Structure formats: C-alpha cells, structure tokens
Structure 1
Amino acid sequence: MSDAQNTGSSAASEARPTRLRDALRQARIEAADRTGVVVDLRDAEVARLEILNEALDPLFAQVPEQVDLFDRGVSQGETPRLWIDVVAHVLMGRDKRIYRFVQDTRFGRIVLAESHDVEIIVKAVTDYVARRMIEREHALVVTPAAAPAPVEKPRRGFWMFVFGFIVGALALFALALFASFRDF
C-alpha cells in the first residue's frame, strides 16, 4: 500500500504545481489584457486630445509671432494633457469622452469649460487666448502718470555721514588739546 500511496501522492504533487502554473499563466494573461486596456484607453485619450489640438490650429495661426505666451502641445504622462500655456490645459474627464479645460491658479484648479463637443472647447480656448492677450497688452503699456518715480541713490547721506564723522573727530581732538593746555 505504501507504493500506492507514494504513487498517489506524487501524482497529486505533480497535479498541484501544474494547476498553479496554469493559474499563474492565466493571471499573467489577464494582467496583460488589463494593461492592454489601460494602454488602449490612454491612446484613445491622446487621440482625442490630438483631434482637439488640430481643431485649435486655425486659432493659433492667428496669434502674432511676437506673442510668446502660449506653448501648445500634448503631454503623454500618466494623465495626457493638451497644454495651452503654462497654467491652462485640456484633459479628458473620468469617462474619457468629455473634454475638461482647466486653469491652475494660486487658489487651486478651476474648470473653464467642460463638454463632449470639440467646438465648445475650441470657443472656450479662443476666449481664454483673447483674454490672455489683452492682459499682456495691459501689462506692457505703462502710462506716464502711473510710471514710478526714479529712486535716488543714497549717496548724499553717505557723504553727510563722512563729513559729520570728520567734524566730530576734529572737535574731540580740539577738546583734548584744549584740556591738555589747561593743565599746564
């Protein structure tokens, strides 16, 4: 009976690793499928952002070359984004079908527009670009009344200090000289 038990136990020990191997293989296949789905979703996000980027080409063709506020491009990080400038970008919503145009501010992120429709986002980006260009114009124009007065250098105060130091030293020397003549 011991031979029968040995044969049975060796068959059981060979069957378990085979099942574990099969389970591991199946788990690896499932993980690869999930990774493929994630990659496919990310590729779909990037493709949708590229479509929006192409729809914005006519807008940015109208921006004068000397205006260097905007640096448009798609970043393909963990969350793909279409950057409009340093603080504003478009990303896909949680359902991966909705465009979300956001701006980062010192008080947090604000949503400027959100839509499934590319044309609505293009209009929101157009309005944003126009506002930024007007802000730039206002920053560059300085009226003479608002111009700050030139700041004088404190040279006058330095020379007054040197003059006062010399006069004080001479006064102390004269006082010491007077006191020494008085003792004689």
Structure 2
Amino acid sequence: MDKATESRRLSDVVRKARIAAAEREDVVVEMRDADRARLELLADELEPVFKEVPAEDDQFDFFLSSGEQPRLWIDAIAHVQMGPDRRTYRFVRDTRYGRVVIAESADLMSVADSITHYVAERMVQRQRFLASDTVYSTGAPGSQADKSGGDQNETSPARQQGVNTISKTGALQALSWFALGLVVAALLIMAVFWEQLAPVLGAD
C-alpha cells in the first residue's frame, strides 16, 4: 500500500471519527461539522468524476459551501445537503416550479451514482445545444437566411425587380380584360340594334 492510499484512507477515518463525535455530543456546531464531514466524503467520491469533465464545460461548480447548513454544489441550480436526521444525503435541484429532490439516501454510493448520471445528462444536453446552435449560426441549406440571402428586412435589387415585373404584368392583364370587355359590349350592341344599323352601314 502506497503512502497516497494510506493518507486518503486516514483522512476518511478522521472524518468518520468527527461524525461519530458529533453524534455523541448534541452540540449545534459539532453537528454542522458532522454535516460538512459527510459532504466531504461525498466530494472525495465524486472528485474523479469531475476531473473527467472537459475544461471548456464551465456549467459545473462543484464546491463545498460553509454556513449554517453546508452544501455541496454541483452546478448553479443543484446541490447536496444533509437531511434533518443528519445521515441522509439529499440531492436537490431548483426549478421554476420549486425545489425538486433528485435523490435522497443514506447510502453515499447511491447518491454519488445519481450525481454522476446528472452530470452526464447535463453534458449531453450542452453538446446537443452547441451542435444545434452551430447549425443555425452557419445557415443550413434551405434555411430562411439562406433563401433570403441576408437580412430579411432588406429588399435585394433582384427581389425588387421581381416585384416591379409582377406589378407590370398585372396592369397589362387588367388593361387587356378591359379592352376585351369593350369589344364584347360593342358586338352586343351591334347585335341588338342590327336592323337599325344595317341601312346606315350599307349592309344587305
């Protein structure tokens, strides 16, 4: 057994001794120390997990805060705190609908596994978000930005020319229908008044 392993195990034993001492002595300060000691054990168990998180992924905090109720922060919205019995690990997350308990157990390893799964899910979500953001920013073929060729609020010369062409075509069609209507009206008038117009036109 190397010295590093002996040191690590000794520190675990010291923490457990502090927890046992706090449980024997019903003192608030000692109980807070016991909570912190338990959370330190959990932090040590999770340290290899957070070492594998890429350096560019800055969404995790992973630090142990002090105060009346020590907390092991995983990220800005999730942390672990000890339950009222001082033995139960409570892994919670703050949401827009309130605080949600993700995992709650007196078994350190079980809570560590839940936190590991949470970290993995957050990493996958970040990777998918970055991938989709890259697609939208570069302008995928067939996207609205690609079709418009730039800012949608600006009118390109080609588009303006197309609008002018459509307007001219519509005006010519309207004029053609108007002229056709005049011809048809004239023919109807001639048909109705043919007997009166025939002598004038010299028709038989």
Question: Which of structures 1 and 2 has the larger relative contact order (alpha carbons within 8 angstroms, sep 6+)?
Answer: 1
TM-score band, normalised by shorter chain = 0.5 to 0.7
| Structure-2 residue corresponding to 1:82 | 72
Residue 115 of structure 2: SS of its match in structure 1?
helix
Q: Show the 5 A alignment for 1:22-171.
A: 37-142=27-132, 143=135, 144=140, 149=145, 151-153=151-153
Stretches of structure 1 that go unaligned for 5 or more consecutive residues are 1-35, 157-184
Deviation of 1:152 after TM superposition, in Å, equals 3.3
Aligned CA distance change for structure 1 residues 140 and 98 (closer, same or farther; 3 Å)? same
Percent of aligned pairs with the same residue?
Answer: 48
| Structure-1 residue corresponding to 2:196 | none
Opposite residue 111 of structure 1, the aligned amino acid is V
Aligned CA distance change for structure 1 residues 96 and 147 (closer, same or farther; 3 Å)? farther
**TM-score, with length taken from structure 2:** 0.55
* Number of aligned residues: 121
The CA distance in 1 between the partners of 2:29 and 2:144, in whole Å, is 56
Q: Give the alignment's Cα RMSD to 1 decimal.
A: 2.1
Residue 75 of structure 2: SS of its match in structure 1?
coil
Deviation of 1:57 after TM superposition, in Å, equals 0.6
Stretches of structure 2 that go unaligned for 5 or more consecutive residues are 1-25, 157-204
Residue 111 of structure 1: SS of its match in structure 2?
strand
| Structure-2 residue corresponding to 1:182 | none
The CA distance in 2 between the partners of 1:123 and 1:46, in whole Å, is 20
Deviation of 1:104 after TM superposition, in Å, equals 0.4
Q: Which has the larger radius of gyration?
A: 2
